[in-house]
Structure 1
Amino acid sequence: MICLFGNQKGGVGKSTLTVLSGNYLSLAKDWPVTIIDMDYQQSISQKYEKAKVLENDEPYEVLPANLESFSVLSPILTKNKKDAILIDLPGKLDDDGLIPVFKCADLVICPFTYDEFTFESTVLFAVVLKKVNPKVDVVFIPNRIKANVKFEIMSEVNEQLSRFGRLTTAIPDRIDFQRISTFHTPLSLDAVINPVFEEIFADRLWKK
């Protein structure tokens, strides 16, 4: 399974959810995982190298990469269909290097927040993605949602995004997300994120 984490808009928690998914699939579900870090900031790769100094055996491998190197990586990544390959995409759409990455995807996870600018970027990302790969399974995650805040455009956003894929339960904004690593997810987050990952991955875990 090749799963992309993407949105044209930065700051929506794309890299964080990539790591959380890697931890969930490898540590909780014993699924072989490789993370490909294509984001410009390479934050996952940095977390991984830092954690390797402090921990013992890493639960999965993190490979820093870019769009240009995907053609070299692709044959290796697609060799074993039973592995979970998680790719953290750069936050842009104006690069033809995204086309082969979009085409190979089995699943795309797109985190977003309920503000107008993020909504427009999310829709544009979904439109381009579906033009390149019409059959791909797209999952939208309302992420970093603040408690007791009323979002006036929520129903409109949900209706529009449901045309391109499915929406999960919202993930609230929690300080604990700053404590995750590529070796560890704080127990306090399990009740928040595990139900969302069950929604996304349950069918695929059953088939693997």
Structure 2
Amino acid sequence: MSKEIFVAFATQKGGIGKTSVTVLVASYLHYVKGYNAAVIDCDYPQNSIMDIREREIKLISEDTYFKTLACNHFRKVKKKAYPVIASNPVDALDDAEQMLNEEEVRPDIVFFDLPGTLKSEGVVRTLAQMDYIFAPLSADRLVVESTLQFTSMFNENLMTTGIAKAKGLHLFWTMVDGREKSELYEVYEKVIAQIGLSVLKTSLPDSKRFRRDLSTERKTIFRSTIFPVDNALLKGSNIKELSDEICNIIKE
């Protein structure tokens, strides 16, 4: 990639997993696929990704097992952990620009984790500067209605008018319960297609592993800003498949 690409997982509904997906995809692309990633955590004031990074650094410094694991990991990948910058929607673009100018290795992909509401100051302005936006949604009527309202508004008022620079706006299913009828998703996708939006082929399952952070209680790793997903947990999570599909889109 000749120029960094700005990507956001955006939604108006909390609890849909956009922060977890941001971490998982960034880590997979950075540590496994060979891209150089960075994260601008502008979900102020909680800044959850920065909180994860700080807790991981503390755990690694205090736990011999994870300290050894980190040394071996970075020796193998031959690169540093990707930068995580704590910010807010108003300053996110400026902070990203400063980070890009200061990093020795310029990131290929910069992920932005934004608040789950367009009403927060600066959110629309920052989203308008994304190259690609991916919106998670679950098969819940309120979530679908809220997500379609957000994506339709953004597409019609900002993308088609040229105000937003986004080359693509895509939705994807998350928190998918294998017991749900596939017909339900087909009905929703027909509605989505009618308003001119597309849904990724990859969906993410409803699994507790998406909330599993680095911990002394568990030696297998899932959600981490410093390590890639453990292979045993990667299987069936669809993170690899989602990351690959996103890569294929942004490389077009």
The interval holding the TM-score normalised by the smaller chain is 0.7 to 0.9
- One-letter amino acid of the counterpart of residue 116, structure 1: R
CA distance in 1, matches of 2:154, 2:120: 13
RMSD, matched Cα: 2.4
Tell me the residue number matched to 2:23. 19
| 1:24-58 CA distance string (max 9 Å, x none) | 11011121111011224321111111111215465
Structure 1, unmatched stretches of 5+, are: none
1:139 and 1:168 in contact (8 A); partners too: no
2:40 and 2:96 in contact (8 A); partners too: no
Map 1:131-170; keep pairs closer than 5 Å.
Answer: 131-134=157-160, 135-150=166-181, 153-162=184-193, 163-170=196-203
CA distance in 2, matches of 1:139, 1:81: 26
| 1:67-97 CA distance string (max 9 Å, x none) | 1213522533676986210001100012451
Q: Greater shift after overlay, 116-125 or 76-85? A: 76-85
Structure 2, unmatched stretches of 5+, are: 61-66, 75-79, 161-165, 213-222
Tell me the residue number matched to 2:10. 6
Tell me the residue number matched to 1:186. 230
Matching of residue 65 in structure 1 with residue 96 in structure 2: no
User: Deviation above 3 Å: which 4+ runs of structure 1?
Assistant: 55-58, 74-82
1:176 and 1:186 in contact (8 A); partners too: no
1:4 and 1:105 in contact (8 A); partners too: yes
Shift of 1:8: 0.3
Map 1:103-114; keep pairs closer than 5 Å.
Answer: 103-114=128-139
Sequence identity percentage: 25
Shift of 1:152: 6.0
1:15 and 1:44 in contact (8 A); partners too: yes
Scaled by the length of structure 1, the TM-score of the pair is 0.87
User: Residues 84 and 32 of structure 1: is their aligned pair in 2 closer, same or farther, counting only changes over 3 Å?
Assistant: same
Shift of 1:99: 2.7
Q: Who wins on radius of gyration, i.e. which is larger?
A: 2
Matching of residue 195 in structure 1 with residue 235 in structure 2: no
Tell me the residue number matched to 2:219. none
Matching of residue 122 in structure 1 with residue 147 in structure 2: yes
Q: Greater shift after overlay, 72-81 or 11-20? A: 72-81
Tell me the residue number matched to 1:75. 97
Shift of 1:19: 0.2
| Residue of structure 1 aligned with 2:124, choices 91, 99, 109 | 99
Scaled by the length of structure 2, the TM-score of the pair is 0.73
- One-letter amino acid of the counterpart of residue 175, structure 2: R
